[in-house]
Amino acid sequence: MLLIKCPICDCEGDETDFHYGGEGHIQRPTSSNPDKVGDEAQRDYLYVRKNPRGLHSERWLCERGCGKWFHALRDTATMVISKTYLITDKPPAELKKAGKK
């Protein structure tokens, strides 16, 4: 059971009070000309995931609190949530340090 604290409304609750939204910081490939978005870029956006064993940046919804989305840094092996941050924030430095990709 995860204990999560929303960085926006400061509500703390277990994982059933929140909703998981998958990997964070995935950008949709955009172009004024959709033909220029290749199949590989579209595949990466839709399906390819980092899926690390270790530090993982992910999105959570504060479902029974403020109703806002936010980011969390969680270790997928130990389940420790080391940080939560706003949905608009850039990926934190520790993620880049841990990430190989």
Partner 1 sequence: MQKYSIFTLARNAANYHKGWGLAWRSPEPKSEYDIVIIGAGGHGLATAYYLAKRHNLTNVAVVEKGWLGGGNTGRNTTIIRSNYLQDESAAIYELSRSLYEGLAQELNYNVMFSPRGLFMLCMTEHELRGFKRHAHANRLSGIESRMVSAEEVKRKIPILNVSPTARYPLLGALYQPRGGTARHDAVAWGYARGADNLGVDILQNCAVTGITRRGGKVTGIDTVKGHIKAKKVAIVTAGSTTLLGDMAGLKLPIESVTLQACVSEPIKPVLDVVIMAGTVHGYMSQSDKGELVIGGGADEYNNYSQRGSFPAIEHTITSLAELFPIIRRLKMLRQWAGIVDMTGDRSPIIGKTDVDGLYLNCGWGTGGFKSIPGSGLVFADTIANDRPHPIAEPFGLNRFAEGRLIDESIAAGVAH
Which phi and psi angles does 3 have, rounded to 5°? -105, 125
58 near partner 1, rule: CB under 8 A: yes
Distances (CA, A) of 83 to 14, 34, 46, 58: 16, 36, 26, 11
From the list 29-37, 62-70, 76-84, 89-97, the region that binds partner 1 by CB under 8 A is 76-84
| 80 to 99: interface string for partner 1, x by CB under 8 A | --------------------
Residue 16: how many CA atoms within 13 Å on its side-chain side?
Answer: 1
Q: Which two tokens stand for residue 10?
A: 């400061």
Stretch that binds partner 1, among 24-32, 51-59, 62-70, 85-93 (CB under 8 A): 51-59
Taking CB under 8 A as the criterion, the residue among 5, 11, 37, 52 binding partner 1 is: 52
Q: Which token pair is 22?
A: 């998958």
Q: Is 28 in the site for partner 1 (CB under 8 A)?
A: no
